Amino acid sequence: MAQQVNITDLDLPQLADVRRQLEEELNHLTNSFTQLKQAQTKFKNCIENVGEIKPANKGKTILVPLTNSLYVPGKLSDPEHVIVDVGTGYFVQKTRPQAVKHYTAKVQYIQGNLETLQETISKKQDNVNSVINVMQAKLQQQQQQQQAPAS
Amino acid sequence: MSTTTEERNPRGIPKAPFIADIEDHIGGPDGDADGPLKRFQDALAKYRFMESNLSQRRAGLEDKIPDIRKTLMMVEYLHERREGKSKATQDDDLDAEDEDDLEEGSSQKPLTTTFELNDTLYAEAELEDTDTVYLWLGANVMLSYKIPEAVTLLKTKLEAAELNLQNTIEDLDYLREQITVMEVNTARVYNWDVKRRREKRLREQASGSALAKTAEG
């Protein structure tokens, strides 16, 4: 959709514009990367949590959260099943191995996205760097031209 | 222009005085208008800062209050269940045979609940029959309370939070009034100053042309 314009053809203000635009996109992509990473960490935590509900813990007393600030002592009653939020308001009761599989699949899916994003980010970074180089070259050129008539 | 006896609202926010007579406030037709203008701007900045503080506080309170309500409801529910159970076990001693079946059902049923392990992960647990609940008070502090004490504590917390919220909303409204008064003052002083400069210029022009006439004649 964008025509191929050689960046050496652009003059200084236009180069500044292009650089600013690229840096904005870079910011945006980096933010998305951070968010994906956070989501991935959450899912990894879920895998650990599922691991805690093991049969060895059945019958042990735990503090059950009833609200954000209220805990009541209780016992684990069902160590074989957990309830997983699969999105759009659906909650599915799964066995522990099924839940672990579900979260692992999510973690891997995010990992794939993260890698693609990483590539896009480095390409953008390269573009920004080349624009900066061209800008510096032009600036030097301009300064030489200004000095030449003066001397 | 005295600032010693300013009125304040119950929480100590100073009232913005409305300047009815600008010339009097500035000190005559040749007084300096920039000083008062700067003072008004300072007062405005302070009011705005207070307003943003209070808005933040109000948002925080509006967040916390439903939470406290939920916790209070849960504790009261647990309390009722325990009272129901202990009444059942007392009656058990008095009339043993007849109501045995009924009471057995209600006094033995434990409460199963699904609780949150993580954002998308829930597990099932059985609540023990206990007279102690644990309340998270924030700042890494959790205390255990007997159920009646917990009910009292939560009630006082809820009332204090609601009172705070009411006060904060009142303060915000009062502040908005004072900000408007200050802005009106600033506008009036500025306009008065503009008018005065214009009149001065016109007078000088008029006297200048009068002088020229007398010089000619």
Q: Is residue A50 part of a domain?
A: yes
Q: With beta carbons under 8 A apart, name residues in chain A contacting B122.
A: 82-85, 91
Q: Is residue A87 part of a domain?
A: yes
Q: Give yes or no for residue B177 having a pLDDT over 50.
A: yes
Q: What pTM did the predictor assign?
A: 0.67
Give every CB contact of residue A72 below 8 A, 6+ residues apart in sequence: A63, A64, A66, B78, B127, B128, B130, B133, B134
Residues B137/B156, Cβ–Cβ less than 8 Å: no
Tens-digit pLDDT profile for residues A84-131: 888 898 999 998 899 899 999 999 999 999 999 999 999 999 988 888
pLDDT at B5: 47
Q: What is the domain partition of chain B in residue ranges?
A: 35-87+134-194
Tens-digit pLDDT profile for residues B134-151: 998 888 999 999 989 999
Label the pairing between strands A61-67 and B111-118: unpaired
Number of domains in chain A: 1
CATH code for position A43: 1.10.287.370
pLDDT at A41: 93
Q: Is residue A85 part of a domain?
A: yes
Q: Give yes or no for residue B209 having a pLDDT over 60.
A: yes
Q: Is residue A147 part of a domain?
A: no
Q: Is residue A113 part of a domain?
A: yes
Q: Give yes or no for residue B104 having a pLDDT over 60.
A: no
Q: Which domain holds residue A120?
A: 31-54+80-127
Tens-digit pLDDT profile for residues A20-76: 999 999 999 999 999 999 999 999 998 888 888 776 777 788 888 888 888 888 888
Q: Which residue in the set A49, A69, A81 is minimally distant from B136, CB to CB?
A: A69
What is the C-alpha to C-alpha distance for residues A77 and A64, in angstroms, rounded to an integer? 12
A84–B120 CB contact, under 8 Å: yes
CB atoms < 10 A from the CB of A134, how many?
Answer: 19
A75–B118 CB contact, under 8 Å: no
B123–A78 CB contact, under 8 Å: yes
- Cα–Cα distances in Å, from B173 out to B48, B64, B159, B177? 12, 21, 21, 6
ipTM of the complex: 0.70
Q: Is residue A18 part of a domain?
A: no
- The residue whose two tokens read 């939560």 is B154
Q: According to the CATH classification, is domain B35-87+134-194 in 1.10.287.370?
A: yes
Give every CB contact of residue A70 below 8 A, 6+ residues apart in sequence: B71, B74, B75, B133, B134, B135, B136
Band (A4; pLDDT cuts 50, 70, 90): low
B123–A72 CB contact, under 8 Å: no
Residue to test with chain A: of B69, B75, B117, B151, most A Cβ within 10 A: B117
